[in-house]
Structure 1
Amino acid sequence: MSGRTGRGRTRRRLWRWRRNPLRRHEDIVEAWAILVMWVVIVVGGAVAGTVAARAAGQELAWQRADRQPVLAVLLTAAPAATPTENASYQAPAKIRWTGPDGTTRTGQALVSTDLPAGAAVTIWQDGRGHLAGEPPGPAEATAQAALFGTSVALAFGGLVYGSTALVRRRLDRRRHDLWAAEWDLVGPRWDQKTS
């Protein structure tokens, strides 16, 4: 009994591929559209996700290589933390540091609260001496690259699925129009009374 039920389900799912007097051209087009959609989602999504993950991984590796920690001096005292803020809260303060070319630079950076003017803090700068955020470590970079690649693959799959849904909607509209036209031909015959 269960074998017949499983086989019946398979037959119902694959009816568009078999010869059938009720099958229309739109049904064949829809079957091919669905097949192509899944192939493109699986293959294209894997390729897009892999390429995006590698590109993100290379960018993060470049950031780790380009950015360097440097000691800076606070020119103004860092604001005190309020009682509602947690201990890891940071506030903007004016700092001075030496760039890679030996020039003295000033700017604003986020530093720990309650630091007096003249205190030394560690900041990150890029190869040109501009302030930059701390780059992610290797494990964090791997996780970010994987997340980015997965997001791209899912977005690509959603785009392909949405495009196929639009195609299927147009096919449904065309089928409905054809059924309505055929009903206009057949419907009046059903209204005739038999004697």
Structure 2
Amino acid sequence: MARARRTATRWWRWRRSPLRRRIDVAEAWVLLGAWLLAVAGGLLAGLLTTGTVERDLDRQRSERRESPAVVTTDAVAAADQAPVKQIGARSVWATVRWSTPDGSAHTGRTRVPPGTRAGTTITVWTDQRGRLVDEPLSGADAWLRAAIAGVLVAAGAGGAVWVGGRLVRVRLDRQRLRQWGEEWDRIGTQWGRKTG
């Protein structure tokens, strides 16, 4: 049995053809532009986001510092006062007191290991103003967070451009269908005439 030869229709919008219309060429340019902008724009947005997140996390690591603090309340008592006890909790809230480099004393609440007694010295992280902050991410964790943020932004930016291109293509399809309808109406009147 002989196999039917398949006609290639790839790139048909770019080939010269009596059936190709200006709207087909416009669609080809919209598709090309959308793909290029989605890839290039997404890549650029992802790289810029990665750089921004890395700089922000580097700034946090440079601004935050360890400070010794004294626990002023027993961590067990703080755990007993909590409205909901966590089973197997690694830390509980307790009040601590620390001093900033300028000598001013501060008090605040932070997480400490369960069972920590009042008077125990622990290490807390503070910002430049002496406020309690979270421990900054390590270099590897910061890089991973920046990379994930970059990938998500790249996918979002590329997806937004792709959706925009898809909406333009839908509009071009509607216009093409309207033009085809007008041509069928015009040709249909010619078919209805009697010859002879």
After TM superposition, the score normalised by the length of structure 1 is 0.85
Structure 1, residues 97-154: CA drift from partner, whole Å, max 9, x if none? Answer: 1113211001122222232222222211112211111111011111111111111111
Distance 2:134 2:70 in 1: 17
Partner of 1:91: 92
Partner of 1:176: 177
Partner of 1:132: 133
Q: Structure 1 unaligned runs (5+)?
A: none
For 1:62, which of 59, 62, 73 is the aligned residue?
59
Distance 2:121 2:146 in 1: 33
CA 1:58–1:84 in 2, change beyond 3 Å: closer, same or farther?
A: closer
Partner of 1:31: 28
For 1:12, which of 6, 9, 25 is the aligned residue?
9
Q: Structure 2 unaligned runs (5+)?
A: none
Tell me the SS of whatever aligns to 2:9: helix
Query: Is 1:97–1:106's contact at 8 Å kept on the other side of the alignment?
Result: yes
Query: Is 2:79–2:85's contact at 8 Å kept on the other side of the alignment?
Result: no
List 4+ stretches of structure 1 deviating above 6 A: 192-195
1:191 CA drift (Å): 5.6
Query: Is 1:48–1:152's contact at 8 Å kept on the other side of the alignment?
Result: yes
Partner of 1:122: 123
For 1:73, which of 62, 70, 80 is the aligned residue?
70
Tell me the SS of whatever aligns to 1:156: helix
Distance 2:86 2:194 in 1: 85
Distance 2:99 2:124 in 1: 11
Query: Percent of aligned pairs with the same residue?
Result: 41
Partner of 1:164: 165
Within the alignment, does 1:47 sit opposite 2:44 as a pair?
A: yes
Code of the residue aligned with 2:100 in structure 1: it is G
RMSD of aligned alpha carbons: 2.5
Partner of 1:154: 155
Code of the residue aligned with 1:37 in structure 2: it is A
1:56 CA drift (Å): 1.0
1:80 CA drift (Å): 3.5
Query: Is 1:77–1:116's contact at 8 Å kept on the other side of the alignment?
Result: yes
CA 1:187–1:77 in 2, change beyond 3 Å: closer, same or farther?
A: farther
Q: How many residues align?
A: 189
Bigger drift between 75-84 and 64-73 goes to: 75-84
Partner of 1:145: 146
Distance 2:177 2:140 in 1: 55
